[in-house]
Amino acid sequence: MTDAMIVVRSGPLSTVQDLGRRGVAHLGVPRAGALDEPALRAGNRLVGNEPGAAAVEATLGGIAVRALRPLLVAVTGAPSPVRVDGRPAAWGAPVLVPAGAVLDVGAAATGVRAYLAVAGGIAVPPVLGSRSADLLSGLGPAPLADGDLLPVGPRPPLGPTPELVPLPAPPAELVLRLRLGPRADWFAPDTADRLARTRLRVAAASNRIALRTEGPPLDRAREDELPSEGMVLGAVQVPPDGLPVVFLADHPTTGGYPVVGVVPPADLPAAAQARPGTPVRFVVLPDRSPALPGPRT
């Protein structure tokens, strides 16, 4: 393993992410990991990696790196212009970057987060079983900066790789299924109906911790304090301003505001790609709906 890439332009926020830290929430450690897990898996599949190999998650403005040895890469997630030494290259497909060449992933045309997967994976040291950067707890590697050297693991044995892995487009409207509870009774009796018909928008304050919303607030039925309790991925917490907050990968493991419901994990990759201003609609699930599938583990 050697340093194989140097960051030339780090962009607004670029971090190393894999599938995150599973099974450590009881220690107060968030899961972290790629917000758009299907995009990470797709990039790894295109370059022949295992599905959970670490990659770079770039936010809005992209990233540029110089290859210190020949690299096979793929860019997935938010559709973005890709160039190798100024020449256009494919997005969503394997690309060979010669030693010394600069791979430039430009600003996202739509969506928010692009994923740069490299054959061999980003080989920063793991912490608690994951190479992911956690922006809430500070675990894992720091956000990337210009001049950083990134190690890449050995290229996996050459085998068949797909030329293309289909992925959904970033949402023009973010539709999130919602299973009510555990604190839906802390809100007005018509909250389920209001959530179903109210049109919220993605707020600019959204980040890796949570997707925040703006629009008409929810009305509380109770105004007393709630002791802190455990939080899960997809929990929809409602702070005093009444605007729902959907917890994403870097969410805290406990919280003291009531949770009106939980969004299934399968719906969260779209939330990772929803830009500020995108309309948000909750679809409230019936009480006896079947179990919801999540991303593959």
25, 130, 141, 189 from 137: Cα distances, Å:
12, 14, 11, 36
In a domain, 169, yes or no: no
Question: For the chain, how many structural domains are there in total?
Answer: 2
For residue 122, the model assigns a pLDDT of 98
Domain hosting residue 254, numbered range: 174-284
Contact between 234 and 222 under an 8 Å Cβ cutoff? The reply is no
Phi/psi zone of residue 140: left (φ > 0), alpha (ψ -120 to 50 degrees), beta? left
**Rounded Cα distance, 25 and 253, in Å:** 6
- At 113-142, the pLDDT tens digits run 999 999 999 999 999 999 999 998 899 999
In a domain, 7, yes or no: yes
In a domain, 166, yes or no: no
In a domain, 279, yes or no: yes
For residue 295, the model assigns a pLDDT of 47
In a domain, 148, yes or no: yes
**Tell me, what CATH number does 188's domain have?**
2.40.100.10
Percent of the chain past pLDDT 90, that is, above it, reads: 81
- At 211-235, the pLDDT tens digits run 999 999 999 999 888 899 999 999 9
* For the ranges 1-10, 114-123, 158-167, the one whose mean pLDDT is highest: 114-123
**pLDDT band at residue 296 under the 50/70/90 scheme:** very low
Query: Which DSSP symbol is given to 19?
Result: S
Q: Are residues 211 and 144 in the same domain?
A: no
Contact between 164 and 129 under an 8 Å Cβ cutoff? The reply is no
Please identify, among 103, 118, 152, the residue that sits at the C-terminal boundary of a domain: 152
* 242: helix, strand or coil: coil
Phi/psi zone of residue 239: left (φ > 0), alpha (ψ -120 to 50 degrees), beta? beta
- At 32-71, the pLDDT tens digits run 999 999 999 999 999 999 999 999 999 999 999 999 999 9
Q: Are residues 133 and 202 in the same domain?
A: no
Per the confidence metrics, is the pTM higher than 0.85? yes
